[in-house]
Chain A
Amino acid sequence: MNGWLLAAAVTLGGGLTATLWGVTTGPLGRRVVAQNLATAVACPGLLLLSQAYERPAYVDLALVLAVLGPVGTLVFARLLSDELTGHPPRAWWPTWTAAALGTAVVLALCAVTAPGRATVKLLVTGALLVGGNVVAGRALTGGIRGVRGG
């Protein structure tokens, strides 16, 4: 049991439990924000797992999640925009907290990997994750309107 594995267990256990609580209770606005949070928590968790098991190839999972997770949130933002425009979710602090978590994990991992391609890949994953989550959060809070037919 190394420190990275412990960090991954804490991140995933705490973060995903909070996400699960958010996504099953409360109004719809809160639930979609919690769904966006799932990506933002699980992606750093997967990066920590890849470091803990010393398998750089596992970074691919985090990369795919960083690309597709925000896309999944955009699906909800677009197809639920009618329901969300009435009561737009106002929860920026979870999004920014998750973004800070992602940034911290990516920077910590960059610090311990030898500089090179792997560092760039980590940075790209982090940028996609944080950017995607902020944009998806914005899309949830009224970024997509007037979806009637389309």
Chain B
Amino acid sequence: MADPVVVVALLLVAGSATLAVAVRDPVRQALVLSVLGVVLAVLFTVLQAPDVGLSQLAVGSAVTPLLLLLTVRKVRRRGQRKGRER
């Protein structure tokens, strides 16, 4: 592991993945997750796997946050309705 860029990328992935687990609120978790996606894409590029990095970028930057936030919104709306009926 002579390459400092690889070390930097690995440390960033370890840090952001741990933080993504440590943050508890789903909305804030989605924010950390999207940063984790970018960091992972950098790691894959540094390890000379640009195809995997591109997959990660394509899925992680917009589609995953959109799916997560739409789900959160649906669950919250249902919660609000239930609260009103009670």
Contact = CB atoms under 8 A, between A and B. Distances in A.
A11 to B, nearest CB: 10
Give the size range of A's interface with the partner: 35 or more
B70 A79 contact: yes
A16 B12 CA distance: 8
B65 A65 contact: no
Given A60-B54, A65-B38, A72-B62, 17 more contacts: A12-B42, A16-B12, A16-B35, A16-B39, A20-B39, A24-B23, A28-B28, A34-B31, A35-B34, A39-B38, A39-B61, A61-B57, A69-B38, A76-B30, A76-B69, A79-B69, A79-B70
Contact of B42 (A24, A35, A46): A46
B50 A42 contact: no
Interface of A: 1, 5, 8-9, 12-13, 16-17, 19-20, 23-24, 28, 31-32, 34-35, 38-39, 42, 45-46, 49, 53, 55, 57-58, 60-61, 64-65, 68-69, 71-72, 75-76, 79-80, 83
Given A1-B4, A46-B42, A79-B73, A65 B57 contact: yes
A5 B12 contact: no
Nearest to A80: B27
